[in-house]
Amino acid sequence: MKSVAYSSLAAFLAHYRALQFAASRTADEDELFKGMSAAIATLSPEDRAALDSTAVASAARRNRERAELHLKRALVARAILSG
């Protein structure tokens, strides 16, 4: 798998979602998506649900921000996100 380093969490999540909902993926894109999914899988189920939440209530927003922080730390540790 080709290693991809993202400059921001927003870029990582946008690419992840684009691959997630793509009608078809190349073999390289599929491998990349698997690696991205593995990084997200390290989060708790609550954090994964918060990342997908579109709720605008303050509690939901705080949960999403906390989940994003946990994901950011995991991605930096895997060298997927540049510090």
Is there a domain that residue 24 lies in?
yes
Q: Is residue 46 part of a domain?
A: yes
Domain contains 55: yes
Strand partners, 6: 81
User: CA dist 15 to 19, 21, 27, 30, 58, Å?
Assistant: 6, 10, 16, 12, 26
Tell me what pLDDT residue 55 has. 80
pLDDT of residue 5: 84
Q: Which residue range forms the structural domain that includes residue 25?
A: 9-77
**Per the domain annotation, does 25 fall within a domain?**
yes
pLDDT at 68 > cutoff 80: yes
In a domain, residue 53? The reply is: yes
The reply to whether 28 falls in a domain is yes
Q: What's the pLDDT at 3? A: 65
Q: Looking at the domain assignment, is residue 68 inside a domain?
A: yes
Q: Is residue 70 part of a domain?
A: yes
pLDDT digits (tens, 9 = 90+) for 19-65: 999 999 999 999 999 999 999 999 999 999 999 888 878 999 999 99
**Number of folded domains that form the chain:** 1
